[in-house]
Amino acid sequence: MEKILIAGIDPGTVSGYAIIDIDGNLVSIGSERELTTGDLILKITKYGKIFAIGSDVYPCPNLTNKIATRIGAKVISPDHDLKYLEKIKIVDTYLKNQKKRIEITNKHEKDALAAALYGLKRINGLLKKIDDHLKEHDKLYLKEQVKRRVLVDNVPIVEALRELS
């Protein structure tokens, strides 16, 4: 079963992208000058199912919306532009908690990682609710399948569990 992922995209002349799984593990990070939309889509979708794309600005850039629409992902965007210091705090806190060193080579990659982490932060409540519900019903072994149904297919937790039990 392919992984459920969140991408962060920093579009521009130099486009940055970061991909994390729903457990917060970094899957891929990078940046390239003059990436086409198609190339960017290929780079972020080769690791699994991108169910959400995080943004660090409001409103979300057109390119981010366009990519989300093309790959069937939802956009998670803040209600204000994330300030420089907010992004630094998000990324630095994340990096300090990682077991292995992660190389971020420029501002675009840092912004993309901040966007992906922001997206994860916004769904953490739902992920915890799923885990709690599964624990309560002694069905933790169904965690991946239930999360996929809830996040990707937009099925309510109770219904997803009922279908999979």
Which tens digits make up the pLDDT trace of 111-144?
A: 999 999 999 999 999 999 999 999 999 999 999 9
Asked whether the beta carbons of 60 and 122 are under 8 A apart, the reply is no
Across 42-46, average pLDDT: 96
Which tens digits make up the pLDDT trace of 45-66?
A: 999 999 999 999 999 999 999 9
- Binned at pLDDT 50, 70 and 90, residue 1 comes out as confident
- Binned at pLDDT 50, 70 and 90, residue 5 comes out as very high
Across 80-106, average pLDDT: 94
- What pLDDT is stored for residue 130 in this prediction? 97
- What pLDDT is stored for residue 73 in this prediction? 97
- What pLDDT is stored for residue 84 in this prediction? 94
Q: Does 165 have pLDDT greater than 90? A: no
Instruction: Give the contacts of 7 (CB within 8 A, at least 6 positions apart).
Output: 17, 18, 19, 44, 50, 52, 53, 54, 73, 112, 116
Which tens digits make up the pLDDT trace of 69-84?
A: 999 999 999 999 999 9
